[in-house]
Chain A
C-alpha cells in the first residue's frame, strides 16, 4: 500500500521556474513539495555559461543552478530528486499525484517540467546516440580532446556549446539550417574569436554513417539540395526543445506543439493547476521568463489556496 500525503502545493520540476515558485511558496508558508526526476536546476545545469541573468555578468550554468538549489534548500524547500510520477489525476475539485511510493493529494499544482532537447532527426540517431551523437557538451566534451567535432544548430545553446567545446576539440564545424545564427550577438562575437570554428550554412545532417565511429556525415544544403560529406569524431546537437507534457496531455489543454496553454496568471484549464517556465505556451523562453512564470504561478496558487 502506498502512503498517502496531503499537501498544499506540489511543484513538478526543479528548474528555474519550479525553484522560484518553491521559494515564493515556502515564504507564503504553503506546505510544498518539489518533484524532480531529472536535474535540479533544469536546463541551466547543462549550460556552459549564463550571461543574461541580472546580478551575474558571467556565471556557469552549474554554479547558478547550485545557487538556486542552495537558496531553496536554505529556506526549507523540500525536493524529492529520485521519485518518478506514475499517475496523475487532475480536476477542479481534486488533484492527485502518484509516485512509486506515495500518493499526494494537493490543493494546488504547478507544472514546471520544462523542455528536453530535440533529437537529431536522422535514421541512425538511436544506434549512435551516446556513441558519437551527444547532447551534453559538459558531460561528454572532455572525451574529444584533440578531435574534430560537429555542432548542429545556431541558437544560443549551440553557440555556447561550440565555445565550450573549443577547449577540447581540434576543429569544430557548425552545421546550421539557416544562413545566419540566431544566437545573441554577444555570443557570436565570442564564437568568432576562435579560429578553429567554421560554419556550414543552410544545411542539415541527413545521415551519419558508421557503427561505433563516424565514417562520414552526409550533409544536405537545404536550398540547393546538394549533398556533401564531412569527417568528424563526434556530433553535438542543439536543435531546439520539446515540452515535457506527456503526463498531462489527457487532462490539460495543450497546443499543437505540446506546450501547456495558460492565462496570464499561469492558470491552466483546470482550477488550481498552474504551468510555469518553458513548458508553457509562449513566445520567449529564457531563464528570466521562467523565473517570472514561477513567481506568478506561486503567488496565484497562494491566492487560490487561500480562497478555497
Chain B
C-alpha cells in the first residue's frame, strides 16, 4: 500500500499526488496538519517532520523524489 503524509497547503505534496495519479497508482492521503496520530506515525517512520513523506509498503521516502518512487513502484 502507498500512503502519503501531507498538509493541505504543501505544493510538493500536491505534485507527489499528481505524479502517482499520472501513473495510475492508488494511494491513501493523510493530512498530518490535523491528524495527530498520523503525524506521530510519520515522525517515527521518517525521523523528521517535513512533508510530503511517502510510505511505499514500509519504505519511506522524504520529499518528492521521482527516481526513488519509480524504483519502489516498479518492484
Q: Which residues of A contact B15 (CB under 8 A)?
A: 39, 81
Q: Which residues of A contact B39 (CB under 8 A)?
A: 143
Question: Which one of A39, A82, A212 contacts B12 once the chains associate, using CB atoms below 8 Å?
Answer: A39
Question: Which one of B19, B47, B51, B66 contacts A139 once the chains associate, using CB atoms below 8 Å?
Answer: B51
Interface size on A, residues (CB 8 A): 24
Interface-located stretch among A21-29, A130-138, A237-245, A257-265 = A130-138
Size class of the B contact interface (CB-based, 8 Å):
20 to 34
A62 at the interface (CB under 8 A from B): yes
The total of interchain contacts (Cβ-Cβ below 8 angstroms) comes to: 64
* Chain B residue at minimal CB-CB distance from A168: B33
Q: Say yes or no: B66 contacts A130, CB within 8 Å.
A: no
Q: Give the contacts of A126-153 with B (CB-CB under 8 A).
A: 129-132, 134, 136, 138-143
Query: CB-CB contacts of A32-47 with B at 8 A, as 1s and 0s?
Result: 0000010101000110
Distance in angstroms from A79 CB to nearest chain B CB is 11
Query: CB-CB contacts of A56-68 with B at 8 A, as 1s and 0s?
Result: 0000001001000
B48 at the interface (CB under 8 A from A): yes
In the assembly, what is the distance between CA of A84 and CA of B49, in Å?
A: 27
In the assembly, what is the distance between CA of A131 and CA of B66, in Å?
A: 21
In the assembly, what is the distance between CA of A82 and CA of B51, in Å?
A: 19
In the assembly, what is the distance between CA of A143 and CA of B51, in Å?
A: 9
Q: Which residues of A contact B62 (CB under 8 A)?
A: 130
Question: Which one of B10, B18, B19, B63 contacts A138 once the chains associate, using CB atoms below 8 Å?
Answer: B10
Distance in angstroms from B25 CB to nearest chain A CB is 13
Q: Which residues of A contact B10 (CB under 8 A)?
A: 136, 138-140
Q: Say yes or no: A62 contacts B50, CB within 8 Å.
A: no
Q: Which residues of A contact B7 (CB under 8 A)?
A: 138-140, 142-143
In the assembly, what is the distance between CA of A41 and CA of B12, in Å?
A: 12
Q: Which residues of B contact A45 (CB under 8 A)?
A: 11
B9 at the interface (CB under 8 A from A): yes
Query: CB-CB contacts of B22-61 with A at 8 A, as 1s and 0s?
Result: 1000000000110000010000000111110000000000
Could you list 28 examples of A-B contacts with CB < 8 Å? A39-B11, A45-B11, A46-B11, A65-B11, A81-B19, A82-B22, A84-B66, A129-B50, A130-B50, A130-B62, A130-B63, A131-B49, A132-B49, A134-B50, A136-B10, A136-B11, A136-B12, A138-B9, A138-B11, A139-B10, A139-B11, A139-B13, A140-B7, A140-B10, A142-B7, A142-B33, A212-B47, A234-B49
4 nearest A-B residue pairs (beta carbon): A130-B50, A142-B33, A139-B10, A130-B48
Given contacts A46-B11, A81-B18, A143-B33, 16 further A-B contacts (CB under 8 A): A62-B11, A65-B11, A82-B66, A130-B49, A130-B63, A131-B47, A131-B50, A132-B49, A138-B11, A139-B7, A140-B50, A142-B9, A143-B32, A143-B39, A143-B49, A143-B51
